[in-house]
A and B are shown apart, each in its own frame.
Chain A
Amino acid sequence: MSDPRIPQRLLDLAKQAQAPRELSGQALRERSGELVDVEIQAGQVWRARWEDISVLVLILAIEGRDVRAAPVTIDPPADDDHSLVLEGQSTAFGVDTTVWAGLAGTVPIRVLERPVDACSDEVIQWTRSASEGRPGDVPAGARQGHLISSELDPAALARAEIADDLEALRQAPGLPAAAPGQQPRGLASLLGTQLDLASLCTALDLPQPEVMKILRGKAPLTAGQIEMIARVTGLTAERVAASVRPLPLGLVVRMEHPRWRHTWQERARTYRVSESEARLAGSYGAYSLAARQTGGGEPDWDERLRRFLRDEDMGPGGA
């Protein structure tokens, strides 16, 4: 029901808002496929989001755990001379859209949420070139943006807001990834003969298998657990925190892929934790499960995570 205090003429105006058909869930699936199967590619326009900050980005290149991307905006209408304004009919959005080549930079893959559109090769090429300071010919169906003559111009404010949002996205917490040659000592190694498993189980109020994961450095520790272990063992909190092994890079790359974001978000809601905490716990779960596997080569981390989730769902507290 609508608010009776709102005049009918305003409600009629609001009803004029027709959602672009190209942005419906079905149209998105038809264009990009199911999210679990999607692969990140240059030319795709993704929604990048972390908590309440969301930005559309045009992928220009994939660089490890990051993509090189230019922000894309639909509203407010703003542009600068390093940007390309795409006409409505050349995008899925149906209205003029600005690609800010001058703000292109790295964006962590972990904040990509879903693809919403794709740009032509000409637009990608122009954006890449413009981001390096040498824009080429403006593609058909687009125009180059206008110079912002003063920092007091509203377009300058819009540009600054986008830059701030991108910076906030870059600060989104990632998984701890092992650097080549990095061999941290597990808690069991640090304690040596002084290890008292029973007292640790009691102090942490955890079953023995969970404590064993902690001793091997294969389970993340909360701040409270670090403090408790330091108190029981006499180790400094810094040494206890450093005993947690970082995750293998291959695992991190898979767990930070947008195909798993929906899973992390669902688990965050279920367990009333943040998305990053849900991802950290799930990733270490997959890591510790993989440790029981034998054989050489890079494990199939996606499969390990699926198994971990299945096992957990069937176990106590599982959905």
Chain B
Amino acid sequence: MICYLVREEACRFPVLMPGDTWQQADLEDLLGGFLADRVHAVTAMLLAQAGSEASMGRLLRRSIRHWLIDQARKTSAGALRRTLETVLATTDTFGQVPSGEAGEGRWRLSGTSVPPWAGRTDDLVKAARAVPYVRIPRWSSTSRRPPVADRASIVAVAHAVLKAAAGSMEIAHLAAVFLARFPTVVDPPVVLLQDQHDVTARAEELTPEEQVIAAEDELTAGVRAAEVAGMLSPVERQLVPLLADVPSIQEVLGCGRSQAYQHAKRLKEKLEQLIGVGEDVRAVGLEVIRLCGGAPGPE
């Protein structure tokens, strides 16, 4: 019965049982954790308090749910949710739907009376990503989790999301959007690789921060490549796209096969010296080839 209830209740906590990577071992870990933590108290509680099978099931389910809440709050997603709760509860921009109205307890923009949101999460993630100037504070602590963003940025993103939703949202929905917008706050998942399964760690789409970093990398590589290309002679620039094509080099230089090999070898060594070593060596090399009029190949 405990196993059944843990499985059922854990489904309410995607952060503990993510749908795409969940495995039987995760359920066993949760069950083991619950038993190790609460078995004595829960046994005493059921003996004293449960007067029927129905009440026992209800009490056990509640104990499991509260334990799972504690576990979820310990995760990075739980921390994000608590941060969101605090920001929403202490900012006049947001308010909770009062009792008696549809969507009671959900969050919405203050002064609105929108219905409960029931749209696509992807649309809200796009709205979250469109918020400019999101600031992520510097963080040096090794014992505390880094903040997802500064308070003003969280408010701005939450405002954009609720505005795009045009409806009231559960805190869990908002947290899910924030997790998609700020994936770096999520704890690295432990995933057991299985032969028959393709495991996708996360979406391939770059976050705004990753897009900025990628753009900067691209710019740096471009500048470096231009510098390298400028140090080549016109003939060398003509040969760069042909380095793997000895007959073409023969044709350009009007020389024999062995001389063409020698030219190609010297040019490669020169390029290696000019480009140097580093993480961006491949990107710079490809850009040099492009600047010299060639189409970058796979390598």
Contacts and interface: CB of A to CB of B under 8 A. Distances in A.
Contact of A150 (B39, B66, B69, B89): B89
Interface string B8-38: 0000000000000000000010011001101
Contacts of A152: 82, 85-86, 89
A37 interface: no
B134 to A, nearest CB: 24
A19 B51 contact: no
Q: Is the interface of B mostly helix, strand, loop or mixed?
A: helix
Interface residues of B, number: 37
A169 B167 CA distance: 36
A67 interface: no
Contact of A53 (B43, B55, B85): B55
A3 B7 CA distance: 15
A18 B43 contact: yes
Contact of A20 (B32, B44, B52, B67): B44
Nearest to B51: A49
A7 B28 contact: yes
Interface in A226-278: none
A162 B27 CA distance: 28
B67 A76 contact: yes
A6 B42 CA distance: 20
B48 A77 contact: no
Counting contact residues on chain A (CB < 8 A from B), the size range is 35 or more
Interface stretch (A9-17, A212-220, A280-288): A9-17
B1 to A, nearest CB: 10
Interface string A11-49: 001101111100100000000000000000000000101
A14 B35 contact: yes
B257 interface: no
Contacts of A150: 85-86, 89
Given A54-B59, A75-B63, A10 B39 contact: no
A154 B66 contact: yes
Given A10-B28, A17-B40, A23 B85 contact: no
Interface string B65-79: 011011001000000
A175 interface: no
A6 B51 contact: no
Interface in A36-93: 47, 49, 51-56, 73-78, 92-93
B31 A54 contact: no
A75 B51 contact: no
A19 B3 contact: no
Interface in A151-190: 152, 154, 157-158, 161
A20 B47 contact: yes
Residue of B35, B41, B50 with most chain A CB atoms under a 10 A cut-off: B41
A218 B150 CA distance: 73
B146 interface: no
Nearest to B60: A75
B49 A76 contact: no
Contact of A14 (B39, B52, B57, B82): B39
A307 to B, nearest CB: 28
A13 B55 contact: no
A94 interface: yes
Nearest to A25: B47
A95 interface: yes
Contacts of B219: none
Given A49-B55, A73-B45, 5 more contacts: A10-B31, A20-B44, A23-B48, A53-B58, A75-B63
20 contacts: A13-B36, A18-B40, A18-B43, A47-B48, A47-B49, A47-B51, A52-B58, A54-B50, A54-B51, A73-B45, A75-B42, A76-B66, A94-B40, A96-B41, A114-B51, A116-B49, A150-B85, A150-B89, A154-B69, A157-B69
Interface of A: 3, 6-7, 9-10, 13-14, 16-20, 23, 47, 49, 51-56, 73-78, 92-96, 113-114, 116-117, 150, 152, 154, 157-158, 161
